[in-house]
């Protein structure tokens, strides 16, 4: 919580506790200004692209009144559906053209100067966050204007180094051919992917840059590319979240990237019963067999015996599989203003498991002494109602509250645990588990609360495009909250001013609407 005092009154900015839209996929959308090239509007074509910067004219390009470098890239209006040249999957009404000329490029980051601007707007301020993977998707159409086969286009994600040089992190090359673009009326999606960012990566914490570059040779000059619908998403990958490693032809008592709980004192090992064999990966049976699980992600899952303390867990410090030291591959952290959802496919009842046996799914962090401290947990209880069939996994979800700056886990590494926590009277059988997914929801935050005359100023941070109510109350706990205004936070950061409360004391919160 953030307390601001000025002129005898105070305002309290509260982290949003209201619901946000349900997240059903791993990836979250990152705002890219003018991603659909709708600005500036044109009735035909226009050699300007707002929010995106063009590459400077190369020394070899000799301009004439009829051929200007600035005219090699611009926005255009998609033709009406009844016309033969209508592109059937343009997002919105416009797209961008880019001539197949060496060095012709559009790029965008926090420092670029787009359109008619004379200084950067900073509207695109996303950063490469440690523990997250990134995916850039662009709709591409080649072959325009007699482009030769073999002409190439490079899509890339970059960062700027200390000297402000653009350094590519990952790139995908698109090569023009009739096989790749059999029609001139349909864009094809091409993707650039970056694995989870590590703290040791040079781009960790740096602003993200997007570049679309014509990089063909001088022998392939001619024609143009059509481009549209630039999408940038991030996700929190869980290493071996689908339990595909190590591969097995039946079952194997090892799970790469995940650490097993140590053998408890009460478990007496014999040659036939080893603690290490109570957890492992297994190959899903063929589809024609009765025991085939119909929604296993890919080909393998994991088994976990219904024994007290049997567990798999993973965080930044865990030692998985045959490793002897942590790989540090799972490096996601609890960030302020975000809540986290852990989803795991679960199938109970295996091997004669008794009704009432329990499994705990949890998200945790490690304290200063490296103890695992639970942030949120969900208990799964075996029953014929919960698991009416032994061939279908059911998703169970663990959800944390939005992280506040004062939370003990704020900024700490995220941990995931799958724990058999049934009693000794419920020993027997096994759980099948698969497809551990971790997603985050960004909740609106009130930041930089200050007093300016008789106005209180707020900066609202949220997912771009979110619809948000700003509410106030005169005291806490509040019997009711008054809606002061409703905004659509287009860019993800919006500053607004409202009259200061006459009573001198105000409490405020932002609430995201569905």
- Compute the distance between CA of residue 405 and CA of residue 14 in angstroms, rounded to an integer: 11
pLDDT at residue 204 tops 50: yes
What is the mean predicted confidence (pLDDT) over 185-192? 98
pLDDT of 23 reads: 31
Higher pLDDT, 447 or 14: 447
pLDDT at residue 327 tops 80: yes
Query: For 150-154, 244-248, 444-448, which range has the lowest pLDDT when averaged over its residues?
Result: 444-448
pLDDT at residue 449 tops 80: no
- CA distances to 37, 78, 139 from 42, in Å: 11, 10, 20
pLDDT of 173 reads: 98
What are the structural domains of the chain?
2-20+443-512 (2.60.40), 28-235 (2.60.120.260), 251-441 (2.60.120.260)
What is the mean predicted confidence (pLDDT) over 57-72? 94
- CA distances to 56, 106, 208, 328 from 166, in Å: 14, 13, 10, 27
Residues 6+ apart with CB under 8 A from 445: 13, 15, 16, 336, 337, 460, 461, 462, 510
Query: For 24-28, 331-335, 447-451, which range has the lowest pLDDT when averaged over its residues?
Result: 24-28
Beta-ladder partners of 273: 270
At residue 473, φ and ψ (nearest 5 deg) are -145, 155
Q: Are 154 and 171 in contact (CB under 8 A)?
A: yes
pLDDT of 279 reads: 98
pLDDT at residue 184 tops 90: yes
State the pLDDT confidence band at 122, using cuts at 50, 70 and 90.
Answer: confident
Per mean pLDDT, which of 113-117, 123-127, 430-434, 468-472 is the most reliable? 430-434
Bond before 27 cis per omega within 30 degrees: no
State the pLDDT confidence band at 12, using cuts at 50, 70 and 90.
Answer: very low
pLDDT at residue 25 tops 80: no
What is the mean predicted confidence (pLDDT) over 469-489? 80
- CA distances to 97, 124, 196, 205 from 161, in Å: 29, 17, 20, 12
- Compute the distance between CA of residue 168 and CA of residue 159 in angstroms, rounded to an integer: 7
State the pLDDT confidence band at 83, using cuts at 50, 70 and 90.
Answer: very high
pLDDT of 488 reads: 82
State the pLDDT confidence band at 2, using cuts at 50, 70 and 90.
Answer: very low
pLDDT of 267 reads: 95
What is the mean predicted confidence (pLDDT) over 446-459? 76
What is the mean predicted confidence (pLDDT) over 262-268? 95
pLDDT of 39 reads: 96
Strand segments, DSSP code E, in 42-163 are 45-46, 53-54, 73-77, 94-99, 105-108, 133-144, 152-160
State the pLDDT confidence band at 501, using cuts at 50, 70 and 90.
Answer: confident
State the pLDDT confidence band at 482, using cuts at 50, 70 and 90.
Answer: confident
pLDDT of 503 reads: 66
What is the mean predicted confidence (pLDDT) over 317-332? 93
* Dihedral over alpha carbons 425, 429, 432, 436 (to 10 degrees): 20
The sign of the torsion formed by the CA atoms of 268, 270, 276, 281 equals negative
What is the mean predicted confidence (pLDDT) over 436-453? 80
State the pLDDT confidence band at 442, using cuts at 50, 70 and 90.
Answer: confident
Mean pLDDT of the chain: 90
- Concatenating the DSSP letter of every residue in 294-351 gives TT-STTEEEEEES-TT-EEEE-TT---TT-SS-------B--TTEEEEEEEEEEEEET
pLDDT of 514 reads: 64
pLDDT at residue 174 tops 90: yes
What is the mean predicted confidence (pLDDT) over 111-124? 91
Higher pLDDT, 319 or 500: 319
């Amino acid at each position: 919580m953030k307390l601001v005092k000025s002129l005898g009154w105070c305002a309290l900015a509260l982290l949003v506790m209201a619901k946000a839209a349900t997240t059903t996929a791993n990836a979250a959308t990152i705002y890219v200004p003018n991603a659909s090239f709708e600005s500036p509007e044109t009735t035909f074509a226009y050699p300007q692209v707002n929010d995106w910067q063009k590459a400077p004219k190369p020394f070899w390009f000799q301009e004439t009144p009829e051929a200007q470098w600035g005219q090699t890239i611009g926005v255009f209006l998609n033709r009406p559906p009844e016309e033969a040249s209508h592109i059937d999957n343009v997002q919105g009404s416009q797209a961008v053209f880019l001539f197949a000329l060496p060095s012709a490029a559009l790029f965008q980051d926090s420092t670029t100067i787009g359109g008619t601007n004379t200084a950067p707007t900073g509207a695109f301020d996303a950063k490469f966050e440690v523990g997250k993977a990134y995916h850039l998707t662009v709709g591409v159409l080649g072959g325009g204007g007699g482009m030769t086969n073999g002409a190439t286009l490079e899509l890339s994600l970059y960062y700027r180094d200390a000297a402000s040089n653009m350094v590519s992190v990952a790139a995908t090359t698109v090569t023009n051919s009739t096989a790749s673009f059999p029609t001139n009326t349909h864009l094809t999606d091409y993707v650039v992917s970056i694995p989870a960012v590590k703290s040791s990566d040079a781009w960790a914490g740096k602003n993200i840059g997007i570049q679309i570059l014509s990089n063909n040779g001088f022998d392939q000059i001619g024609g143009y590319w059509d481009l549209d619908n630039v999408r940038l998403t991030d996700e929190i990958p869980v290493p071996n979240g689908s339990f595909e490693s190590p591969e097995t032809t039946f079952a194997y008592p090892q799970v790469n990237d995940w650490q097993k709980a140590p053998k408890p004192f009460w478990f007496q090992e014999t040659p036939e019963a080893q603690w290490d064999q109570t957890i492992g990966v297994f190959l899903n049976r063929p589809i024609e067999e009765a025991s085939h699980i119909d929604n296993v992600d890919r080909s393998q899952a994991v088994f976990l015996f219904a024994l007290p303390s049997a567990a798999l867990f993973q965080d930044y410090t865990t030692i998985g599989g045959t490793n002897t030291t942590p790989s540090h591959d799972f490096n996601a952290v609890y960030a302020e203003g975000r809540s986290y959802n852990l989803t795991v496919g679960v199938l109970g009842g295996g091997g004669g498991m008794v009704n009432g046996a329990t499994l705990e799914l949890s998200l945790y962090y490690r304290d200063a002494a490296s103890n695992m401290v639970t942030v949120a947990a969900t208990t799964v209880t075996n029953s014929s109602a919960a698991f009416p069939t032994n061939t279908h996994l059911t998703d169970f979800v663990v959800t944390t509250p939005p992280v506040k700056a004062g939370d003990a886990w704020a900024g700490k590494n995220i941990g995931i645990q799958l724990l058999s926590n049934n009693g000794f009277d419920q020993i027997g059988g096994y759980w099948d588990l698969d497809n551990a997914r971790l997603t985050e929801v960004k909740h609106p935050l009130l930041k930089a609360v200050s007093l300016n005359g008789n106005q209180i100023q707020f900066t609202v941070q949220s997912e771009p495009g979110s619809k948000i109510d700003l509410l106030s109350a005169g005291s806490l706990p509040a019997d009711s909250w008054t809606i002061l205004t409703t905004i659509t936070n287009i860019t993800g950061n919006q500053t607004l001013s409202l009259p200061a409360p006459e009573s001198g004391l105000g409490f405020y919160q932002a609430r995201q609407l569905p």
